Structure 1
């Protein structure tokens, strides 16, 4: 690391501390790097990052470099990239160093990489293949400067309550794999998947005994899985690096919703004014990463317009929710 970068990071740390000391919002990412990347520098900052999961851009079939530039131009603080897009970039002759440099230049935190593997399958052969896949994808992530990769539970149709120990051992095995590369797999909850209860996520993660065990939540998936917001603050928010940000409508009923029903924050019925303060008070200072698959938005907005609305609505919802929590 050059002396110039070291000095820049030290200055950013000092600025962040000054903001907190003045009673303003502290910012969880590198403010100086944001300036370097030609990002807005006069906006009010929040104690959480406002980030973008590039699933939101899926319809437009953009290459990963274009995604990064669009997300940065829209003012986001961080980004979640999909491994499939990254591999396409690499197959066409690109390098992880190029993506790492682009992210740094544009001042974006690489929140997480979205990947899919059957690491929790009951089939031992599938688990072995998944370990090989994850090892490769963790090295790619590390090469880009990333430290997290999503680990949804695939390969089983439902959680067997007699097999929590086995699930914990399987998650522990990929956490140990992550220790080799410095990339932590995040146990991901899916509202319509096998792992759809926060309580199950917590039990499996805690049972690993691994200090880096953590959980990836999503406002829509928490609701879709029939969970309760009243107990969300039982979790240690400081252990959650990122949460997927979206909203959900009042109809159809929760267990009939699909991914395509997700809406922009503030356009549904999620009680953000109640939930976000709970997360803040529980220590959450990570990224709220907008994740949508809404065909209605894709059919009526171009990428820049959708990103503009995604950033502005998320910022507004978080700011409003914390208005009476942060003095």
Structure 2
């Protein structure tokens, strides 16, 4: 074979090979078209406080949330207990959740784990163990852990090192039950009302599962604001309570019941969400309000409005 023929054949083969490489195959096109969409940085959840005043009961609350489009909720343990006392069972509750396509991302409970009185604290730990066992059976992996019992005006200031030891005891229960206690900031409380306090207690607990539960309203009420949120460390936040407040209420005068839908006030919502959002896993944003004006409306309208307001809140974040 002559050298010129060899060169021509070689060039032809290279051209054909390059064309095959550059031209999209059907398999490549299919791969592109079926690629999963980017994961949202947030999971939208309804805290049942938002429709708690309607007194719907455990099952109806879930149905209302599902009809509004929520795939995640925060339940109140008291409502679950009432359901069980009325003849409901935990397996039935889990099945109902599955049928509705809803997960319980967190639960709101009030066991006195932080108080100085040893007898009361012991009962509080027993209560948490019992409630966390129940939550595990319906697939809930988290429980709020606020400074209940030490939140009233005039309550003595609890030593933060002792608070950390006590939070550690609750976290140890979490290891056994599979339900992680979320250390909750309460802006109106004499204890754990500042971001620095909850972070101190979480860090000094020395437990890798320590997490903090923060809230737009409580950060405002307690005077911490959102400026220092980047120092929290994103792994510490799995659930974040959202709501809004209007210019009608100062930090000193605002109460739980004054919270409004996201976007109906002046809170730095989008700025805050940008500070806390993660790229590795979504943060559960749960709408928590206790507004009597909403309780006077139809529950489904409230839930539907909550979903619409939350979608607008996260748009572009």
Match of 1:318 in 2: 314
Match of 2:127 in 1: 133
Is 1:296 the equivalent of 2:293?
Answer: yes
Is 1:185 the equivalent of 2:181?
Answer: yes
- Once superposed, which parts of structure 1, at least 4 consecutive aligned residues long, lie more than 6 Å away? none
> Counterparts of 1:1-327 in structure 2 under 5 Å?
18-20=36-38, 26=39, 46-157=40-151, 160=157, 163-193=159-189, 194-280=191-277, 285-299=282-296, 301-320=297-316, 322=317
Contact 1:148–1:183 (CA under 8 A) maintained in structure 2: yes
Structure 1 CA distance for aligned equivalents of residues 177 and 35 of structure 2: 30
Deviations 1:259-300 (A, max 9, x none): 11000000011112311111115877221111111111222x
Structure 1 residue 104: Cα displacement: 1.7
For structure 2, which runs of at least 5 residues remain unmatched after alignment? 1-32
Structure 1 CA distance for aligned equivalents of residues 84 and 221 of structure 2: 35
Contact 2:41–2:278 (CA under 8 A) maintained in structure 1: no
Structure 2 CA distance for aligned equivalents of residues 273 and 172 of structure 1: 33
Structure 1 residue 208: Cα displacement: 0.7
Contact 1:236–1:284 (CA under 8 A) maintained in structure 2: no
- Which gives a bigger RCO, structure 1 or 2 (Cα 8 Å, sep 6+)? 2
Change (3 A) 1:113 1:105: same
TM-score (norm 1): 0.82
Deviations 1:127-174 (A, max 9, x none): 01101111110111011111111110122255747x221110000001
**What is the root-mean-square deviation in Å for CA atoms of aligned residues?**
1.9
Deviations 1:208-235 (A, max 9, x none): 1101000111111111110131211212
Aligned length: 281
Deviations 1:8-33 (A, max 9, x none): xxxxxxx998212xxxxx1xxxxxxx
For structure 1, which runs of at least 5 residues remain unmatched after alignment? 1-14, 21-25, 27-45, 323-327
Larger-gyration structure (1/2): 2
Change (3 A) 1:282 1:170: farther
TM-score (norm 2): 0.85
